[in-house]
Structure 1
Amino acid sequence: MTKPPFSIGCNGRGAQASSIDRPVSLEEPPLEEQFRLVAETGVFDHFDRLPLPDQLPAYRALVERHALPVRTASWFYRLGEDEPLIGRNLQIAAEIGATMHNMMIFTHHAAGHVVTDDELVDCYLRSYDEGAKLGVEPAYELHVNMWSEDFRRVTPVAEAVMRRGVPFNYVLDYSHGIFKIGNPAEQEISGVRADVEAGRLILDPFEPGNLVDEWLDMGIVRWLQVRAAVPNGPPNIWSLHEPGRGLAALPDDPDQAGKPGRGIMYPFTKPAPGEWHSPWHAWMLEPCKEVVRKVLRHHRDTPDSRLDFVTTEMINLPDYGHNARFSLIGQNAAIAAFVRDSWAEIAPEG
C-alpha cells in the first residue's frame, strides 16, 4: 500500500476499548493504556494530545516505549484571559515534539462580546511569532462553540492573516458542518440559516461552491480531522448535559441542563444491536467520506498543498460518543484504515 505523505494520528480522547459492558466514559483510561491502544491498531503514525505540564515525563516515556510520537496538540482558549496559557502550551507542545498547535478560540471574549476578526488575527499573529521561536505553528479550527461556528468568518480571518504575509493554518473538522446540513435549528446557532436557504452558503460537499472547496482552493488546510458525522445527525440521547462539570470546549450554560448532546458523531462502521441509540445507515456517511476524498485529491493534484496531518476524532464527550457501547478505539482505527485505503486509491502511480 502507498504510504501517505502525511501523518495519521488518533486523538487521545478516542483511545478507549469501550464495549456493551464498558460504555464510552468521560473518565479516561490511564495514559499507558491510551498509548498502547493506539499503537496496537497498527494504523496510526502519531498520538494527538497536549500533555498537562506534570504529564510530560510520562508522555516522553510512552512515546519511546510505543514508538508513537506526539506531532499535533490542541487546546481551547478564551481571549482576554487565556493569552498567557497559549504561550505556556506552545512551550509544552515543543517539549513533547509537536509541530502544530490547534487553538480553539471561544466565540465570546472574557469581556463578554463576540470576539472580533481583528482580535482573532492579532492572537494568531502573536502566536505565530511566539511559536516560530519554538518550532511550533499555531492553527485555528472549525468547531462548535467557537468563533468559527459561524462558517462565514473563516475566509475573512484567513485572508486578513495572509495579507500580513503570514501563512494561515486551518484545521478542517467538517463534522461541525455536516451535522448542520438539513438542520435549520443548528444553522440558526451558526447564524447561517438564511444564507443556506438562499443558496449563498453551500454546506453539502457534493454541491458546487461548497465550503470545503472554498477552503481547499485557498490553500489553508494543514490538518484534516475526521469524525464520522451525518446530515441532521441524531442527538446523543445517552448523554445529557450537566453544566458545571468543566468539560473541554463545552460552555457551562445552565439553559443546556438535561438536554442531549448535539449530534456531531455517528458510528463509522455498523454498530451491533445495543451499541448505538439510533438507526444506522451506511449511505448517510457519504458526505463525511467525500470530504476525506476531496482533501486527498486536492493534496495529490496540488504541488504546493500544505496538508501535513490527518487525525481521527471519535471522542468521548457528550456531543460526540459519551455512553456509546461500541469500541471507540475500533471506530477510530476504522477511519484511519479508510484514510489509508483512500490514499492508496487516489495517490499518483510511481
Structure 2
Amino acid sequence: MNDDFPFLLGCNGRGAQLSSPGKPVSLEEASIDEQFRMVKESGVFDYFDRIPLRENFAEYERAMQKYDLPVHTASWFYMLGRDEALMYDNLEICRDVGAKCHNIMTFTHHADGHVLTDDEIVAHYLDVYEHGMKLGVEPSFELHVNMWTENMARVTPIAQRIAGQGVPFNYTMDYSHVNFKIGNPEEQNLSECRQAVESGAMVLDPFEEGSLCDEWLNLGIVKWIQLRTVGPNQPKNLWVKNDDGSYARGIQYPIVRPKPGEWHSDWHAYMLEPSKEAIRKSLRYHATHKDSPLRYITTEMINLPDYGLGAKYNLFEQNVEAAKFIRKAWKETKALHAAGLL
C-alpha cells in the first residue's frame, strides 16, 4: 500500500484456479502453494485473501514466506446459536496468520429457525467487535445473499444504531449482490424490496443518484469493497443445478469475453458497467473524503455453485483482469481529482 495506490488489493483464494474447457471450474482446488504462486506471480495483487483452517495453517505459513505474500483479510460465514465458538476461533486464526480484518457473513436465520432481529444483529456485531479488537482484528459485516444483509433495507438502520453506541460499523460492500437483482423481480422478492424498488423508494442501480451504493458510502462505513462482476438480471448458472432441480443463482458474469463454449450464455460488455461503476464510486468517495475508512479491496470471481462453478473460462484470468481494472480505475480517479473534476 502506498500513495499511488492507498489500498491493499487481494485475491480471494477461491478464484486462484486455472480452469479451461478441458478442466471446467471445480470445487477441487489447487494446492495452497500453487494458489499463492499464481497470485504472487500475476504481479497485480498485494496479498492473498482467505482464512486458513487449523489443519492447513502450516501450509499457509510456508506459502506466505516462500512467496513473500501476506494474508491481510479473511472471510467466513456463521449461524448464530451454532457457530459462536467457531467465530471466536477464527478471529484467533486471523490474528495468528496476520490478517487485520475478518469479513463476517451471518445467516438470516438463527439456529432455532427464527429470523434474526435487529437487536440480535446489533448485539452480535458488538460482541464480535469486542472480541476481535482485543486480538487486533477488526470485524467487517458483508453484504451477501442468504445473510441478513440480503434484506438490504436493514443495513443502514443497524449501522446507525451501532455507530450511535460509539462503535464504528465496518461494512464489506460486495455490490454484485445488489447489481444482479436489477430488473429481477424474483431476486428482489428474496430481498423483500420489490415494492420499494418499483415505487422508487429504493434505488439499486449505482448509476442513479440516491442508490444504495451512494447511501452506504455516504454513511462512511465501507471498510472493504469486493469486485465480482455481475450483469443486471443476468442468466442463472445454467451449468449447475440445485438438489431440487432448479439452476443455481447467477451472481458472476465474466469480466473478460469468454471464448465460444466457455460460458453458457451470450456475453455483452455493457452488462459489466454497473459492477464497474460501484467500484468507481467507491474510489471517488475515498479520493474526496479524508475520513474514508476504505482500506481493503478484493477480487471475488470464485468457484462456488451460484458463481462460477462449471464455467470453462480461465477463472484466475478473470480475477487478474478485475485487479487490473481496479488499479486503472484508481489512476483515473486520481487524475480527475487532481484536475478538480470530482
| 2:305 paired with 1:304 | no
RMSD: 1.2
Q: What do the CA deviations read for 1:209-239 (whole angstroms, capped 9, x no partner)?
A: 1000000000000000100101001100001
Q: Which residue of 2 aligns with 1:246?
A: none
Aligned partners of 1:19 and 1:325 also within 8 Å: yes
Structure 1 unaligned spans of 5+: 243-256
Matches within 5 A, 1:66-77: 66-77=67-78
Q: Which residue of 1 aligns with 2:247?
A: 260
Q: What do the CA deviations read for 1:271-319 (whole angstroms, capped 9, x no partner)?
A: 1111100000001111111011000000100001000000000000110
Question: 1:180: how far off?
Answer: 0.3
Instruction: Give distance in 2, aligned partners of 1:16 and 1:260.
Output: 23
- SS of residue matched to 1:311: strand
Q: Which residue of 1 aligns with 2:256?
A: 269
Q: Which residue of 1 aligns with 2:188?
A: 187
- Residue 287 of structure 1 aligns with an amino acid whose one-letter code is P
- SS of residue matched to 2:156: helix
Aligned partners of 1:2 and 1:344 also within 8 Å: no
Aligned partners of 1:2 and 1:343 also within 8 Å: no
- Residue 55 of structure 1 aligns with an amino acid whose one-letter code is N
Q: Which residue of 1 aligns with 2:280?
A: 293
Aligned partners of 1:161 and 1:168 also within 8 Å: yes
Aligned partners of 1:228 and 1:314 also within 8 Å: yes
Q: Which residue of 2 aligns with 1:100?
A: 101
Q: Which residue of 2 aligns with 1:283?
A: 270
Question: 1:2: how far off?
Answer: 7.1
Q: Which residue of 2 aligns with 1:164?
A: 165
Q: Which residue of 1 aligns with 2:89?
A: 88
- SS of residue matched to 1:70: coil
Question: 1:84: how far off?
Answer: 1.2
Question: 1:3: how far off?
Answer: 3.0
Aligned partners of 1:171 and 1:223 also within 8 Å: yes
Instruction: Give distance in 2, aligned partners of 1:239 and 1:109.
Output: 28
Question: 1:67: how far off?
Answer: 1.2
Aligned length: 336
Aligned partners of 1:205 and 1:291 also within 8 Å: yes
Instruction: Give distance in 2, aligned partners of 1:168 and 1:269.
Output: 34
Matches within 5 A, 1:113-128: 113-128=114-129
Q: What do the CA deviations read for 1:181-215 (whole angstroms, capped 9, x no partner)?
A: 00001101111001100100000111111000000
Instruction: Give distance in 1, aligned partners of 2:185 and 2:130.
Output: 40
Which stretch of structure 1 is more off in the superposition, 121-130 or 213-222?
121-130
- Residue 221 of structure 1 aligns with an amino acid whose one-letter code is V
Q: What do the CA deviations read for 1:64-121 (whole angstroms, capped 9, x no partner)?
A: 1111100000000001111111110000000000000011000100111100111111
Q: Which residue of 1 aligns with 2:15?
A: 14
Percent identity of the aligned residues? 56
Q: Runs of 4 or more off by more than 3 Å in structure 1?
A: none
Instruction: Give distance in 2, aligned partners of 1:46 and 1:190.
Output: 33
Instruction: Give distance in 1, aligned partners of 2:265 and 2:163.
Output: 43
Indicate which of 307, 323, 329 corresponds to 2:310: 323
Instruction: Give distance in 2, aligned partners of 1:130 and 1:27.
Output: 33
TM-score, with length taken from structure 1: 0.94
- Residue 27 of structure 2 aligns with an amino acid whose one-letter code is L
Q: Which residue of 1 aligns with 2:36?
A: 35
- SS of residue matched to 2:135: coil
Q: What do the CA deviations read for 1:113-162 (whole angstroms, capped 9, x no partner)?
A: 10011111111111111111111001110000000101000001111111
TM-score, with length taken from structure 2: 0.96
Question: 1:349: how far off?
Answer: 4.6
Structure 2 unaligned spans of 5+: none
Q: Which residue of 2 aligns with 1:253?
A: none
